[in-house]
A and B are shown apart, each in its own frame.
Chain A
Amino acid sequence: MSNNGQSKWLARHIAALPRSGIRDFFELVNEMDDVISLGVGEPDFPTPWGIREATIYALEKGHTNYTSNLGLLRLREVACDYVAANFGIRYHAAAECIITVGVSEALDLILRAILNPGDEVVYHEPCYVSYAPSIQMAHAVPVPVQTVESAAFALEPDKLEKAITKKTKAILLNFPNNPTGANLSFEQKKQVAQIAVQHDLLVITDEIYAELTWGEACQSIAAFPGMRERTIFLHGMSKAYAMTGFRIGYACGPPELIEAMMKIHQYSMLCASIVAQEAAIEALRNGRADMEAMKEEYYQRRNVIVKRLNDMGLHCTPPEGAFYVYPNITCTGRSSAEFAHDLLREHKVAVVPGVAFSSAGEGFIRCSYATSMKNIEEAMARLAKFIAK
């Protein structure tokens, strides 16, 4: 890259960003036909028809203009009602909520809004691939805390506390977690909240998988004592309502932080698509039954895939949420990348190597069960053959 003369234009912190580990593998999968993919991080269901129909109606009515930078007030109101009913915390729609282009944008906005060069953000790995790069793009320092299989991939408070320094500004959480499917119990959230209060840190909580919780659902960390004023709650429509392509997320939090996020959003994105915002209103008002039906299907697939994996000898902690399992493959003697490549070449099943989600992800693969039961059964049969060889 340095030879072609173009890299001299690049900002140093962007040039230093590593390529996403998932991209090379993605290219390989795309070159092959008839692959059963357990590598997809989005629902296999199309968006429920009622939501799509409302989107078409919005277009027919000519809703094709810009919206307020914060998003349609009607959407912010239903989103805040939804958060109050499901997460135990009431936000003010006019001042404490902003509609974004997916949770990804919301995360970028809050990081850019709060971070000065050299600030540190503590987050847990394995995690979604954008966290460390997003922190780096905001000129700050990502500080990972590893979650481990023996603790069911939950964030251990003592490890979190050890990672905190004078430069730490925020803790970034994602539970239920992509890729492990882990969740935090009430007690664990309480302890993390206490640490945040004690060290005067902001908490950014990405709860995009919150509806897809298999254990006991509990309130958001934002609802714990002392947390409302120091938490940015991130949520969106993509996963539970099968609306990934609509790109609608939202952030709720203290007015000063929402205002700062709005400034960046205003000058970079202007607003999220109005048609997608109309779709989100319909989903939050009338989409619950469709969402619950999809959730029940994910739950049954989760039970099947966990059983098949454990039966074939790949230890798999039953996930508490999201639509991923994260089995341990160390007994096969392969690295996670070798495992994924060999499985793809020999049996045409795509899974994602654990190293894509963490420097310490060796020994694990991520399998998404956001695919049909038929595909899961076939993929598990092929995987069992692969293991037995």
Chain B
Amino acid sequence: MKEKILNLLKKDARLSASEIADRLATDVATVTAIIGECEKVKTIYGYCALINEEAFDKPPVRALIEVSVQPERDDGFDNIARKISKFTQVSDVMLVSGNYDLQLIIIGDSLQDIAGFVSSKLAPMDGVTSTRTHFMLKKYKECGFTAEDGEDYDRLSVTP
């Protein structure tokens, strides 16, 4: 039941406990209790909307940054990843396999803003050995959703 509730919330975080209960043929109290527990233990650690930021008067600028770091003897990548995560400009931090170690998404007001963050904050950090910045030009899909309308096709209105 817990995983079913979590999967529903992943697809639509605005579903009420009552809607979830109806869909899963259970009662509201069960759903509320499970969600409450998940929030408490941080299985659910936030809710956010997927926004097409092109609609903003001044759309923010995003960059994907590949960061190579020197892991620490006791903490591996965790300590430096946590430090990087504390910057408000940093939206996402992932440890990845491959040619670099951490993949970040940085949000800023302008290209200069992001370039400034990388050169004055990120690159000089102890343990960071190199960075490579890719500015995002257009987003096509995020968290399983696309900003464009879905496929429209005609079905017959009544079929046996």
Contacts and interface: CB of A to CB of B under 8 A. Distances in A.
Taking chain A's interface residues, is the majority helix, strand, or loop, or is none over half, making it mixed?
mixed
A303 interface: yes
Interface size class of A (residues with CB under 8 A): 20 to 34
A300 interface: yes
A352 B157 CA distance: 11
B156 A26 contact: yes
Contacts of A352: 158, 160
Contacts of B23: 300-301, 303-304, 373
A287 interface: no
Interface string B143-160: 000000001010111111
Nearest to B8: A300
Contacts of A350: 157-158
A142 interface: no
A234 to B, nearest CB: 16
B12 to A, nearest CB: 9
Interface stretch (A37-45, A78-86, A88-96): A37-45
A315 interface: no
Interface in A325-354: 350, 352
A222 interface: no
B22 interface: yes
B24 interface: yes
Interface string B124-160: 0000000000000000000000000001010111111
Interface in B1-58: 8, 22-25
A58 interface: no
A130 B155 CA distance: 20
Contacts of B153: 46
B22 A40 contact: no
User: Which of B153, B157, B158, B159 has most chain A Cβ within 10 Å?
Assistant: B158
Contacts of A129: 160
B160 A20 contact: yes
A361 to B, nearest CB: 13
A195 B153 CA distance: 46
A40 B158 contact: yes
A128 B8 CA distance: 33
Interface in A199-251: none
A178 B159 CA distance: 12
18 contacts: A20-B160, A22-B158, A22-B159, A29-B158, A39-B157, A39-B159, A40-B155, A40-B159, A41-B160, A46-B151, A128-B160, A129-B160, A130-B160, A300-B8, A303-B23, A304-B22, A307-B22, A307-B25
